[in-house]
Structure formats: C-alpha cells, structure tokens
Amino acid sequence: MSQMLSPDLSAVELRSYFVRKRNALLVRGRFSPLYLDYYLHLMQHGIQHAETLDQMLKDALAALALHLGSRPQDETCAWTIHMKEPLANLFVTGGTRPGRVTGRIFTEDVRQDGKTLFISQTTRPDHPARQSMIEFQDNDILHAVEQFYTTSEQRPTRFFRLPDEDFVQISAEPDCDEAWLSALTLEDVTVLDQHEHLTLLETRGYVFECGCSVERLMPIIMRLPQDDLDHIFADGMAKITCPRCGAVFRTPKASFEEWRQKQT
C-alpha cells in the first residue's frame, strides 16, 4: 500500500473528535463517495454480489476505514469475516499512508465449519504482527467489529449507521464513562454535538482502491507449478483475479514469459 492514490477517486473524509468529560474517541464520515467508486469497480470488472452480501461488505469497508482513522497512521489492517449463512468469506484490508481500503467477497470453495468468525491481522513497521480471532453470533458486521474490540482490543466500542451512509464509531479511552458509552442510542448520536463537548483532533481521507495491476499479480502466477501454468495459458491468455479486490486481468503468455525472464 505504498503507491500514490489515483487522482480520479473520491475520498471519504473521516473526522476524529475527543468527547470531553466522557473520555471517548469519536470518528465519523459519510461514505457515499467511497461507495460510488466501489460500485464503479464492480461494474468495471463485471462483479455481481447478492444484495445481502453486498451490504455486509460495504459495512465492513466503512468499519475498517473508521478503525484505521482511530489508529496510528503507519498501521495496515486486514479482516477476514467468515459467514455461515449465507456461506461466504468477506475480506477487507487497508492502511492510512496512503488512505485506502479495498475488499471482496468469496463464495466459492468456502468451507462450512458451523461458526461465524472474525479474524484480524495488523502490521506496523518495527512492531510484531498481531493476529486475533473471535466467534460472533449474528450477521451484523458492525456488531462483529464491536465484539472484536471488546474481546481482542479490550476497548469497548460502538458503531452507528446514520442516514445518508453516515457512520460513527465511538471508542473508550482511559477512564472512559463506559456506562454512558454502553447506553448510547442512535437518537443520542444524531444530536451528540448538542449535548457533549467534542474537540476535533484530526481529519483523514480514505478511498476505495486496491492498487493492483497485472505486473503486481505476476508473482502469484510465477509460483504456480508448470502443469498449472500450462493449464491457465492453454489458449495463450491467462485470466488473473486479484485476491484482495476481485479485479480481473488478462495477460498473454508472451508477456508473462518476458516478465519472468527479467526476474532471473
């Protein structure tokens, strides 16, 4: 995630606030611009999702961006969310330098183990990688992320979906008024700035973008056994699907062989 962002993408602006006297961190943003580029990506690559799974992935993208907006800027996060009904794996990943998130849905060859699982992987320069896994109970992605925070981060956190694709995350800081946080309702959040003292801390921007390309996916092909290479290039053209965003690329065998020669 080190490349420059495309200037054609629309960023969602995330604003983080400190809720004074409650000792909580609030991050909020309207995700309409990011969702627009998400749908353009689906159209470009001919990807179609069932409505239920589509909403789950959108919620996961919003939750991940809010999470990143509350974390150190050099962290990179990836979440895999295993659903048992409907049977699917949701994958989202992102970082802040630059600010981007991406993701996809897997519905083929998904193993049914009777559990709904949330798996988080976090990397940060000069820090050990962290991974955690929890089991959650329903199909609400925002509830799943809340459970991840409570269990793995040991930091009570609430997510709220407001009208017009506006999302809010409120997380406990040291000495937080956790009773207040736990009792918050959607109606409370819509008028929170009228009843609480919010201090703006910073603003960050995030776009929907993977940064993948044929060249960046070539190493995936190169690791395949020769029999598999012969199969995918049987008609002289290989179809490559990005494992992070589902983008579909096609490359002729001659281009792949030329690229492989340059690696030796």
Question: What are the structure tokens assigned to 133, written together?
Answer: 């896994």
pLDDT, tens digit, for every residue of 176-228? 999 999 999 999 999 999 999 999 999 999 999 999 998 899 988 888 898 88
pTM for this structure? Answer: 0.93
Percent of the chain exceeding pLDDT 90 equals: 78
Structural domains of the chain, ranges and CATH numbers in brackets? 12-208 (3.55.30.10), 214-263 (3.90.1280.10)
Percent of the chain exceeding pLDDT 70 equals: 97
Q: What is the mean pLDDT of the chain?
A: 93
pLDDT, tens digit, for every residue of 121-148? 999 999 999 999 999 988 899 999 999 9
CB 123 within 8 A of CB 75: yes
CB 32 within 8 A of CB 11: no
Whether pLDDT at 261 is above 90: no
Q: Which residues have C-beta within 8 Å of that of residue 180, sequence separation ≥ 6?
A: 22, 24
Confidence of residue 2 (pLDDT cuts 50, 70, 90): very low
